[in-house]
A = this chain, B = another copy of it.
């Protein structure tokens, strides 16, 4: 039998995986805690001993995804630290593969943003989590600019906000029209140009 701590983390992981599927199918609002428990094969008791609410579970899901993204990005840096443009392209590749399924991830994260726009408590948590993610990326850009003895004509945190805006806006177009806008195509066509235009 698994030790209690290990069992607890397996339960969490299975609840997160079940929630991701149910959210993508029925929407964040359409998915109930019961639906998630049923999909993951647990009781409501197991749910509430791991998460205080559906919001808390969604935030844990985003945290695990952004943690994984940051790990993947950090692993790219050593080989590409002297080639900012190649590193940007590699980072875009990682963002494209966010989560096990780009469509599910887009549906869930966009719905949570809409939820946050109507719910101040959700907004506070979501803003903090996104800020921590952006901060890690901003430090990456700052280190890159410094170690390559470059100058950037815009603030690194603003450049990171731009990358996220282009990525999220372009992803909606790619999912809606995959034939006309292959995943990552707008990001790859414009963001390296933009990086070049801001570096000297």
A172 interfacial contact with B, CB 8 Å: yes
The quantity of this chain's copies bound in the complex is: 2
Q: Is the interface of A mostly helix, strand, loop or mixed?
A: helix
Q: How far is the CA of A26 from the CA of B99 in the complex (A)?
A: 29
Segment of A3-11, A71-79, A139-147, A160-168 in the binding face: A160-168
Q: How far is the CA of A2 from the CA of B161 in the complex (A)?
A: 52
Q: How far is the CA of A166 from the CA of B118 in the complex (A)?
A: 22
Please state if A172 and B176 are interface contacts (CB–CB under 8 Å). Answer: no
A113 interfacial contact with B, CB 8 Å: yes
Segment of A31-39, A86-94, A186-194 in the binding face: A186-194
Given A114-B110, A127-B176, A189-B154: A165 and B164 interface contact (C-beta under 8 Å): no
User: For A113, what are the chain B residues with a Cβ–Cβ distance below 8 Å?
Assistant: 110, 172, 176
Report 8 cross-chain contacts, Cβ distance below 8 Å, ordered by A residue. Answer: A27-B114, A111-B114, A127-B177, A154-B193, A161-B170, A165-B170, A165-B186, A167-B169
